[in-house]
Amino acid sequence: MKNPLFEQLKKYDRLRNFVYFIRHPLESFIKNVNLALYIIIPAATLYIVFAFLQIPHYTNSETFISVIDDHIVIALLIVLIPYSVFYEIWARKVLGIQELIPDFLERMAGINQVGLTIAQAISIMINTNLGLISYEIRRIKRDMDWGANFTEALVRFEERVRAPSIARTVTLITKASEMSGHIGEVLSIASIDAKMTEILKKERLAEMFIYTAIVYLSFFVFLFVVGVLTTQFLPVLANISTQGLPATGALSGIGSIPIATFGRLLYHACLVQALFSGLIAGQMGESSLAAGVKHACVLLVISLVAFNFILV
């Protein structure tokens, strides 16, 4: 039989999380970026509905489609831009914590090697200034004060940060602490490993930057080619007579297709290229599709501006 006090505690936790979300919605979105989708997707949907209601009833379907295309792209940006902003804030926070992990482990190792336990080392570390990680150290100490052991507090820290390098370090420390309370040498090894990981990560980012630049360059080349086709080829194609085309076969219906349709297809091709090129840039440069959302936003905005103000 379940203890009613545990049920009350669960209800209190849910209520407390809801109140915290109401008071600090932006912080909640940063901690869990996917929560922002519950707000921005309905907002983008409302924008599309409002745009449909405001657009005049054009008799020409090509004009109507060309107008609604831009609103769909804007709605997509309403979703992608806030998501990328929240993700980048969270990613930079995690990156800052990862950079401080080696120093944290090194100090912990020094304190443990003089004979103090891990719990005592944490109590000493809360008085040191380690930047972003100082807040997490205080939370680890608070978890231990409320009855959690060092292993459980570290696991909760790993769940809050959700970074592979930190997860690897936490696993190493927790397994070692299960054997003995004196794990100074293990902490030193973990500190060296964390330093090497950060060095390799910075070297990788520096080397992969060229690939991100290549993705941007290839998109601009594609956009330039599409721009030439739109401004030079399609106007000439509009003045070519279709009387010589065969009545049957693959080219039989090409004369009945409006030139605006070809331009719209090129526009759509640029939008697709912008979206997936941005995601690929994030995957290649930072090993994350979510990191590529910001690149996709930049390329989508460039495509939108190019086809509405330059290639007209």
Give tens-digit pLDDT for 249-270: 444 455 556 777 788 889 999 9
Cβ burial, residue 93 (10 Å; 0-12/13-18/19+):
middle
The stretch 113-138 carries a mean pLDDT of: 79
Q: Per-residue pLDDT tens for 178-233? A: 776 667 788 888 888 888 888 888 888 888 889 899 999 999 999 999 999 888 88
Instruction: Tell whether the model's pLDDT for residue 285 goes beyond 90.
Output: no
pLDDT: which is higher, 271 or 166: 271
54 pLDDT more than 70: yes
What would the pLDDT profile of 15-35 be if each residue is shown by its tens digit? 777 777 777 777 777 878 888
Alpha-carbon gap, residue 61 to 194, rounded angstroms: 60
* Contact (Cβ atoms closer than 8 angstroms) between residue 194 and residue 99: no
**DSSP code, position 33:** G
- What pLDDT, on the 0 to 100 scale, is given for residue 157? 84
pTM of the model: 0.81
Mean pLDDT of the chain: 82
User: Could you give the CA distance from residue 218 to residue 128 in angstroms, rounded to a whole number?
Assistant: 48
Nearest partner of 140 among 159, 165, 157, 161, judged by Cα = 157
- Tens of pLDDT, residue by residue over 151-189, are 888 888 888 877 777 888 888 887 777 776 667 788 888
Give the pLDDT band (50/70/90) at residue 238.
low
Find out whether 105 and 130 touch, Cβ atoms under 8 Å: no
How large a percentage of the chain has pLDDT more than 70? 88
Separation of alpha carbons 301 and 307, rounded Å:
10
Contacts of 245 (CB under 8 A, 6+ apart): 251, 252, 254, 255
DSSP character at residue 55: S
- Structure tokens of 27? 């912080």
Confidence of residue 80 (pLDDT cuts 50, 70, 90): very high
- The encoded tokens of residue 179 equal 């054997």
